[in-house]
Chain A
Amino acid sequence: MPVIEVTSLHKRYGDLVAVDDVSFTVAEGEIFGVLGPNGAGKTTTVECVAGLRVPDGGGVSVLGLDPRRDAAQLRQRVGVQLQESQLPDQLRVAEALDLYASFYRDPADPAHLIDTLGLGDKRNTAYKKLSGGQKQRLSIALALVGNPRVAILDELTTGLDPQSRRDTWTLIEQVRDSGVTIVLVTHFMEEAERLCDRVAVIDRGRVVALDSPAGLVSTVAPEQRIRFRPSASMDDRLLTDLPEVTAVQRTGSQVVVTGTGDVLHAVTSVLARNQIVAADLRLEQSTLDDAFVELTGRRPAE
């Protein structure tokens, strides 16, 4: 049974349709990514899942609970990290965690959590004096302090420097390894590629693709590009005759082969048979970025 089940979710604000028709399921122990351009309806979708908003149509079930009807039970078991949610300036790290721990029936040990998140030497520091990365880690700690079975994390690493971002990713993987199901809203493709088992790409309030990151790339943007400099002159037809190859271009001494499937193997085999050595060979594969652009017609916002 899926941990989260969203069926034909619909939500409007006045005349603006924020979520038109969104359906997906999340399995236990999965890291599930929700991707999409700004204003696509990602945040509204997860807010409905978290029970913070009432959908205008469709159904949401989390751990078999209805987020509205069983709100009290849901809040015990679902940890939420919201976008742009701060704390009072003078509140100290340990105070915040102790306070939030007191809300739950079976909380995690705040002191242990502080250490795990690398805030050990900041426990008596006021929120105002924390760096962006530390604030973010505290925010994640607050989402986890209730020992949730599901964690919903919105814009996890926005505003973090690359090192903090990588540290946060490692942390999220540890959380997942402890058995927590994670829903991750992000617009960083690198983050989704690194962390997510599956992603839903949402555009204009609808799910336009739902697959593993690698699956999305190979179905949506399957093209690969091979660049090399041949050691001897060669006829382009050697390559264009291959079924895997879609195009061959030359720029100066460099040959650029575009193709799909097992194109690399096909090209190198044919070169070897003809005793041509491919110098400076590089393979460029599509990334989730390319798939995203293909799907939404927009570049992921940075």
Chain B
Amino acid sequence: MHAFGQILKIETRLFLRDFGSPLTTVVLPLALLVVFGLIPAGRQPEEQFGDLSFIQYFAPSLLVITLAMSAVNILPTVLATYRERGVLRRLATTPASPAALLAAQLVISLATILVSAVLLIVVGRLAFDVPLPRRPLGFTLALVLGTAALLALGLLVAAVARTAKSAQGLAVPLFMAVMFFGGVYVPRFLLPDFLVRIGDYTPPGVQALLDAWTGTSPHPLHLGIMAVVALAAGATASKLFRWE
């Protein structure tokens, strides 16, 4: 446990020292929230968003940026790099386990997602009249399952990729798909209906997040899909994962 604490401390330091990681996972979504929030039209309820303001409608997609960056981009790249460079192997020769390093990376991902979610919710509420999630329990559930599904996919990439390069080769398309279906590149109201429906079932499940944030219970099927993806990808990843 002592070793795990030390590893977590050092890995957190390395995460913060690598300027790009906190920037893309926490600062970027928050900055976008502020930019869109400062546009007056973005704060007006609109019929096409079901009487939500644009910023309210778009906030879950900003959270998708954090989720996608952290879980399917940074996590697999870091793990594949550590494996390729023999960091995991060296750790295996000490009383500490390479599993502790994996766990530390997961904790950092979770903490990043939590910090970003809290910041988006709090800043949205205080500065731009975005109501707090109206279904806190449903929102928490949707966020937890969506996060679990994406982390599992990220671990799967880390498991099948032999090198850091191939991890990135696999992670980037996955990352872009998650971002696209999460309505980050093009807000979802501009997408054809069938793409929006696909997005409902694509991890992390932006529709479930939006529903719970704005007052509808998240659809059980949406949540169920996330749980299935998390379990299937997680089980496959743990079967395929190699330490060296």
Contacts and interface: CB of A to CB of B under 8 A. Distances in A.
A and B are partners in one complex rather than unrelated chains: yes
Interface string A60-84: 0000000000001001101110101
Contacts of A85: 85-87, 89-90
Given A90-B17, A95-B10, A95-B13, A82 B95 contact: no
Interface hub of A91, A95, A103, A105 (most chain B Cβ within 10 A): A103
Given A88-B14, A90-B18, A102-B3, A80 B87 contact: no
Contacts, number: 60
B7 interface: yes
A17 interface: no
B14 A80 contact: no
Nearest to A145: B94
A107 B160 CA distance: 36
Contacts of B92: 52
Given A72-B95, A99-B6, A103-B3, A142 B90 contact: yes
B10 A86 contact: no
Interface in B18-74: 18
A91 B14 contact: yes
Contacts of A80: 90, 93
B87 A86 contact: yes
A146 interface: yes
25 contacts: A52-B89, A52-B92, A72-B95, A75-B93, A75-B95, A78-B93, A82-B86, A82-B93, A84-B86, A85-B85, A86-B86, A87-B87, A87-B90, A88-B14, A88-B81, A88-B82, A88-B85, A90-B17, A91-B14, A95-B13, A100-B94, A102-B2, A102-B3, A103-B6, A146-B94
Interface in A131-180: 142, 146
A98 B89 CA distance: 18
Contacts of B89: 52, 82, 85
B97 to A, nearest CB: 10
B96 interface: yes
The 9 closest A-B pairs by CB, nearest first: A85-B86, A80-B93, A86-B85, A102-B6, A103-B96, A85-B90, A75-B95, A103-B94, A103-B95
Contacts of A95: 10, 13
A31 interface: no
Given A82-B86, A85-B86, 14 more contacts: A52-B89, A76-B95, A78-B93, A80-B90, A84-B86, A85-B85, A87-B90, A88-B85, A98-B6, A99-B6, A99-B7, A103-B96, A104-B94, A105-B95
B96 to A, nearest CB: 4
A72 B94 CA distance: 9
B104 to A, nearest CB: 11
Interface size class of A (residues with CB under 8 A): 20 to 34
Interface in A92-149: 95, 98-100, 102-105, 142, 146
Interface size class of B (residues with CB under 8 A): 20 to 34
B144 to A, nearest CB: 29
Nearest to A72: B95
A95 B6 CA distance: 10
A124 to B, nearest CB: 12
Contacts of B85: 85-88
B93 A99 contact: no
A104 B95 contact: yes
A159 B87 CA distance: 19
Contact of A52 (B14, B81, B93, B95): B93
A221 interface: no
A9 interface: no
A87 B89 CA distance: 11
A90 B21 CA distance: 13
Interface hub of B7, B18, B89, B95 (most chain A Cβ within 10 A): B95
Given A88-B14, A95-B10, A99-B6, A50 B86 contact: no
Contacts of A79: 93
Contacts of A76: 95
Interface string A256-293: 00000000000000000000000000000000000000
Contacts of B82: 88
Nearest to B85: A86
A138 to B, nearest CB: 11
Interface hub of B6, B18, B87, B90 (most chain A Cβ within 10 A): B90
Interface string B70-114: 000000000001100111011011111000000000000000000
Contact of B10 (A75, A99, A105): A99
Contacts of A88: 14, 81-82, 85, 87
Contacts of B13: 95
A102 B92 CA distance: 15
Contacts of B93: 50, 52, 75, 78-80, 82
Nearest to A105: B95
